[in-house]
Structure 1
Amino acid sequence: MRVNGKGFPHKSGRVKSVLFSMVVVLCTISAVACSASNVEQERKIYTRQATDEGIVRAKSQGHGLNGPLIQELDDAFAAKGIKLMNNMSADDGEDGISYMYLLNGSGRHIIKVHIFSDVYTRVARMNEMYGNDGSEAVIENGLGKTTIRSKDYVSLVYTASGGEKDDYEEDVMQIFQHVLEQLK
């Protein structure tokens, strides 16, 4: 049935009003959803949550103040032909972060980089974790050997286990010394 040669049935006015109503409802829903999203974003800004989330994201990706330290560590190991693999990071909840790497993918050789908010926090946390709050320590037991080097707010930890305890030790200690000397 054609009306006026345009192909619309005689009830086209009702169809147009239903379509118009649907468009208005969809636009209203979209506006409300966007509005709720904007309110949530504004809330995060005013409560500092957005900033905190950004800082944690930047730290875990090696950006921010600790980025140059991690890059220096990566470059120093690469220069010795040692790959830092299986990079993992964790925020300590006190404005600090820790990174853990396996040397050349071996679970027997682990490097940990602890970056704390200040010297006092480093001393307290290292004492909690390793039973030592000094700037240098070697902890040996039947399972392996852990060597710690610290300066200012940073602690570098190398743990080697099994029969391969000495494979990387000399290189790792040279790198630790070099990286810690770069701290200002």
Structure 2
Amino acid sequence: MMAKRIVIGLIAATLLAGLMGCTRNTSKEEMRKYNMQAYQEGNKEAETQGRGRNGQFLDTMQKIFKDMNIQLTNETFTEDAAGNMSYQYRINNDSSQIITVYIFNDELTRVNGMKHMYGTDGTKNTAKANNMIIGYKDAALVYTSGGTKKDQYTDQVKKVGLEVLKNVPHRSYNKPK
């Protein structure tokens, strides 16, 4: 009877130690995610190995705009639950001049998404801001300008918008058939 209690005690202690180790590892991994360490490590790995899905496109876009004397600053990135992505920049660090590039899962999603967000493809002007929308396949580029500097970069963006979008790695057109 005593031996049985000792064996049960050892098994319980082993299980408890195993659970503590798993919990500790899980906690460490969750902390890495929370403080964005895992995200930053993944980005660093993608950069060093050249595997970043849109890294080359983003570099090309920066160069195309730079050739038009437009510096894209303050990059932000979002991705929705369906995998549609957007990159947003200020033009020359001016918050009234914005470039947003949307990359959707397919062309129909782009058309519907742009209509939902902006009400149209093409140009959408309001009292406070103007939006010039350029669409190509599953991607769209939107130039938003507002305040006293409305349309300050419209001509430059019109010239390079389609060229920028042609450099997007279009997911819906690269899928195996």
Query: TM over 0.5: same fold?
Result: yes
State the partner residue of 1:74: 62
State the partner residue of 2:108: 120
Assess if the C-alpha contact under 8 Å between 2:104 and 2:138 holds in 1. Answer: yes
- How many residue pairs match? The answer is 139
Q: Which has the higher contact order (CA 8 A, sep 6+)?
A: 2
Report the residue type matching 2:81 in the other structure.
G
Report the residue type matching 2:74 in the other structure.
N
Over the aligned positions, Cα root-mean-square deviation in angstroms equals: 3.0
Q: Which moved more, 1:164-173 or 1:63-72?
A: 63-72
The structure with more radius of gyration: 1
The equivalent position to 1:99 in structure 2, one of 78, 81, 87, is: 87
**Cα distance in structure 2, aligned partners of 1:155 and 1:69:** 14
Q: TM-score, normalised on structure 1?
A: 0.64
Deviations 1:58-95 (A, max 9, x none): 6xx99643333222211111222222111111111111
**Cα distance in structure 1, aligned partners of 2:25 and 2:95:** 46
State the partner residue of 2:22: 35
Deviations 1:11-58 (A, max 9, x none): xxxxxxxxxxxxxx9xx96x65443356789xxxxxxxxxxx97xx66
SS at match of 1:108: strand
Q: TM-score, normalised on structure 2?
A: 0.66
State whether structure 2 residue 154 is matched by structure 1 residue 169.
Answer: yes
**Cα distance in structure 1, aligned partners of 2:83 and 2:165:** 20
Deviations 1:133-166 (A, max 9, x none): x4xx011122121100011110100011122123
Q: Which runs of 4+ in 1 moved over 4 A?
A: 37-41
SS at match of 1:65: coil
**Cα distance in structure 2, aligned partners of 1:39 and 1:160:** 46
**Cα distance in structure 2, aligned partners of 1:64 and 1:162:** 36
State the partner residue of 2:137: 152
State the partner residue of 1:4: none
Unaligned ranges ≥5, structure 1:
1-24, 42-52
Report the residue type matching 2:72 in the other structure.
L
Taking every aligned residue pair, what percent have the same amino acid on both sides?
27
